[in-house]
Structure 1
């Protein structure tokens, strides 16, 4: 680690989609970066782009965060390099759709490990150090799906509801010195939907709700800077999330089932 005065941020899930845009947005602010994801090729390409364009330092850590113990392993690697990020962007996640009883158990376990366990462990490990130092920022990426039960994406929507609840609680528990915010995107132009096997119900829904990951990343970082407990990206998505307050969760699930199957 060089003697630059710029802070460091860790971005998980930094090989594609929203993670890439978080890295670009942070580099624009002259924040040095640690990129973490399974695929190191795309991260090395991104790292070189950011070094050339913004003059920041970028380190790459290829790691499968869906493996048990990966959070502690990643922190150990950072310690060995003398890196102490003051910003954590907990973005790595995946989901899938289909009949719950037909889901592959190994795939389900990996999703829960990544989306819940590793996210929680990374958050705790970094929060401990940030509290000891008296400052820090943590952004947890959940989803609009966390605001309601979604049949045929039951485990994923439940996982994002967990992230939303965890982050909003930690915003109070760790504040004001350590900022914690939860970003809840809706549909985005990323490979996440392909991996999840999710089909957009109609072109109208796509036009009205689909967001660019670039815009979502900037909105998320602004919410974190303002220490918002949670933030839903996109006006239509915010209306949808707010509207859930006026219906029963059973009704929400019945409606969601029509579009998720």
Structure 2
């Protein structure tokens, strides 16, 4: 039986990955900060699917959190067949008006912890000649986003990093995918303090279901794609804008759309 490790597994896309993979008979290692939510999900999935679910309560904003997770997994002598680096968050507002430590924590979670976990588990995958990794980026990774500047930059890193590794390691029998969803049912708006943005509160038009994002991601992984943009045609338009318009024009338009009142 295969094992998948999922960060940010207590809600949103991470939780949807856990539920879908449990249905597909994967054992799970679920990582998040909220122990109570993880334990609740653990009990549910073990009961419904008769799988093994290990819970690791870990704050990825702490330096070397990835190493701590890896060591705990190795203590149980578990090989991770599928690594899903899903944990991440954003922060909305003018850059210098936002808390600097929150921005630095975002870089730690969205980039540093992801790189650390990828390096540690990919090393084992290469030795075994098998393995799969999904790194969750975003359509925000395709262009700068004023008022979400650090977030978009971290997702651009994840996209570029993941595509590079896809090319490096495909000949070793390892699949690596950059997952780029658009707006999706999650706690992102709440954590980013983005809920007062027009259209974000009480309007589910254009908001994808996490379950659909997960199924699209796993389908793309099976096909050995380097990346997948999930959601409707609107997301496809967004990620291709820079092919047809100057970047300065695009970012100016986004600034007007995202500008705080």
What secondary structure, in the 3-state scheme, does the structure 1 residue paired with 2:179 have? strand
Separation in structure 1 between the aligned mates of residue 76 and residue 158 of structure 2, nearest angstrom: 29
Aligned match of 1:3: none
What secondary structure, in the 3-state scheme, does the structure 1 residue paired with 2:107 have? helix
TM-score when scaled to structure 1? Answer: 0.94
Q: Tell me, yes or no, if the aligned pair for 1:198 and 1:260 is still in contact at 8 Å.
A: no
Unpaired stretches in structure 1, ≥5 consecutive residues: 1-5
Aligned match of 1:56: 51
Q: CA deviation at 1:207?
A: 4.9
- Answer yes or no: is 1:86 the counterpart of 2:81: yes
Q: Superposed, which structure 2 residues align to 1:39-54 within 5 Å?
A: 39-54=34-49
What secondary structure, in the 3-state scheme, does the structure 1 residue paired with 2:183 have? coil
Q: Deviations over 1:202-255 (max 9, x none)?
A: 37x955421011111111111112111111111221232123321122112111
What secondary structure, in the 3-state scheme, does the structure 2 residue paired with 1:140 have? strand
Aligned match of 1:228: 225
Q: Superposed, which structure 2 residues align to 1:143-182 within 5 Å?
A: 143-176=138-171, 177-182=173-178
- Answer yes or no: is 1:201 the counterpart of 2:198: yes
Report the aligned-residue RMSD: 1.6
Aligned match of 2:247: 249
Separation in structure 2 between the aligned mates of residue 38 and residue 15 of structure 1, nearest angstrom: 8
- Answer yes or no: is 1:102 the counterpart of 2:97: yes
TM-score when scaled to structure 2? Answer: 0.94
- Answer yes or no: is 1:219 the counterpart of 2:216: yes
Q: Tell me, yes or no, if the aligned pair for 2:28 and 2:54 is still in contact at 8 Å.
A: yes
What secondary structure, in the 3-state scheme, does the structure 2 residue paired with 1:234 have? coil
Separation in structure 2 between the aligned mates of residue 213 and residue 244 of structure 1, nearest angstrom: 27
Aligned match of 1:10: 5
Q: Tell me, yes or no, if the aligned pair for 1:139 and 1:183 is still in contact at 8 Å.
A: yes
Q: Tell me, yes or no, if the aligned pair for 1:201 and 1:259 is still in contact at 8 Å.
A: no
Q: Tell me, yes or no, if the aligned pair for 1:186 and 1:237 is still in contact at 8 Å.
A: yes
The number of residues matched between the two structures is 256
What secondary structure, in the 3-state scheme, does the structure 2 residue paired with 1:202 have? coil
What secondary structure, in the 3-state scheme, does the structure 2 residue paired with 1:175 have? helix
Aligned match of 1:239: 237
Q: Tell me, yes or no, if the aligned pair for 2:241 and 2:250 is still in contact at 8 Å.
A: no
- Answer yes or no: is 1:191 the counterpart of 2:205: no
